[in-house]
Amino acid sequence: RHAVLRYTMESLTAKGWTLFSPPLLANFAAFMGTGFFPGSDQNNIYAVGGQTVESGPIEGDGLHLIGTSEVTVCSFHKDETLKEDDLPKRYAGYSACFRREAGSYGKDTKGLYRVHQFEKVEQVVLCRADQDEALKMFEEIRTNAEDILKALELPYRIIDVCTGDMGKGKVFMQDIETWMPSRSAYGETHSCSYLGDFQARRLGIKYETAEGQKKFVHTLNNTCIASPRILIPILEIYQNKDGSITIPEVLREYMGGQKTIGK
């Protein structure tokens, strides 16, 4: 688990991305600004508070646990005017993530696929208000995620997400699904989104052009890796007949040179 996360972070920093370890707690304004509040996503966010009696009422602190580092990485620049020359901002946000997964039922709730706490390396981009530039950034962040899967030698496919399945404020979205033998199907492991200036307007993030004009930035985000979900295809595809697991070659240096797990 740690090996695949470390490999991903080192891969991104080698490409010039800024590693960001954001707060795990965010206030209501941060969730509003990134578009997670209000709406159905609100049901999947843990609120933080104090409880003096078991099963008694919880007194809220006005803070929530993040379900993705996108919330606090984007909010880092709230009400800020950036310089055009400083764009694009490329952040690799590494954090623990927490989700209630309220209303989730069926086989997807079993095992490692859908859990309440996980770790994720999220790519977050702030760029100029230029759709062509933003779509080039979209290709870049998706390709970064693909590069990780290729290095791990895991079969995957890319899905264009239809408008009805996209979250609030999203202009374009693709999912990456990785082959999971136990399901005899591909399972979603990555998501890539372009949100135009939706989040920037809510958070007040602008940049000043060389001519002195102020514009809202455009934002994008991508799951570069999420663990433990990515362990499903790794463990299943690399499992041997004797039950041992062959460690993918690119991860061995992060595991002391170990080549197998188990027997």
Is 191 noted as a catalytic residue in this protein?
yes
Average pLDDT estimate for 4-28: 97
pLDDT of the residue at 206: 99
* Residue in 11, 191, 193, 227 annotated catalytic: 191
Is 114 noted as a catalytic residue in this protein?
yes
pLDDT of the residue at 105: 57
Q: Band of the pLDDT at 106, cuts 50, 70, 90?
A: low
Provide the Cα torsion 143, 145, 146, 149; round to 10°: 160
Is 202 noted as a catalytic residue in this protein?
no
pLDDT of the residue at 175: 98
Averaged pLDDT of the chain: 94
CATH superfamily of 2-23+67-255: Bira Bifunctional Protein; Domain 2 (3.30.930.10)
pLDDT of the residue at 110: 66
Q: Band of the pLDDT at 43, cuts 50, 70, 90?
A: confident
* Residue in 99, 128, 142, 193 annotated catalytic: 99
Average pLDDT estimate for 243-261: 96
Is 229 noted as a catalytic residue in this protein?
yes
* Residue in 188, 201, 208, 244 annotated catalytic: 188
pLDDT of the residue at 170: 96
Is 90 noted as a catalytic residue in this protein?
no
Checking if the pLDDT of 107 tops 80, the result is no
Single-letter amino acid, residue 84: E
Average pLDDT estimate for 188-216: 97
Across 98-107, 146-155, 168-177, least confident range: 98-107
Average pLDDT estimate for 114-140: 97
Average pLDDT estimate for 176-194: 96
Q: Which residue has the tokens 């310089």?
A: 83
